[in-house]
Amino acid sequence: MKTVMMDAFYAMGHEARTTNAREMSGQGVIGKMWSTGVPGASAIVAVYSEYASDKDGEYSYLLGVKVGESEKAPRDLVRRKVEEGKYMQLSARENKAGAVIGLWQQVWALESEGKIQRAYKTDFEMYSETGVDLYVGVKS
């Protein structure tokens, strides 16, 4: 785990509103989005944004790819800006759902222990052949 400064970037893909409780109940959208795949994507990004409140509130989840600033989204996709700022980076060297859930559980534990203060603007996961990196926006 380390803290990094990230520049803003854009991602484009399919997006839906959900909550952590909905996802953990088996009635969520994230698993369904992954099952349909990301067409033509080798470096997948998942963006969490538009938080209603905190980890217990609604948020938007976008599954897609990183795109250029001027790239326009086709009608059936959403284009989302990932905010620049300070992020806590956690990594897993496998691309399995359990590994990502484990990273999020670490974040929630650190937050509940008061060891981090999340910004709740944008968070994201970057997937590659070698694993996944989770970036959680934190207050400066």
Query: Which one, of 92, 80, 98, lies nearest residue 126 by Cα?
Result: 92
Q: Both tokens of residue 63?
A: 């599954």
Whole-structure pTM value: 0.92
- CATH class assigned to 2-138: alpha beta
Predicted local distance difference test score (pLDDT) of residue 94: 79
Q: Name the CA radius of gyration of the chain, rounded.
A: 14
Residues shown for the chain: 140
| Annotated domain spans of the chain | 2-138
Rounded average pLDDT per 10-residue block, the chain, 140 residues: 95 95 93 82 89 96 93 89 97 83 95 96 93 94
pLDDT at 41: 67
Report CA torsion sign: 125, 126, 127, 132.
negative
How far is residue 63's CA from residue 15's CA, in Å, rounded to a whole number?
A: 6
pLDDT of amino acid 52: 97
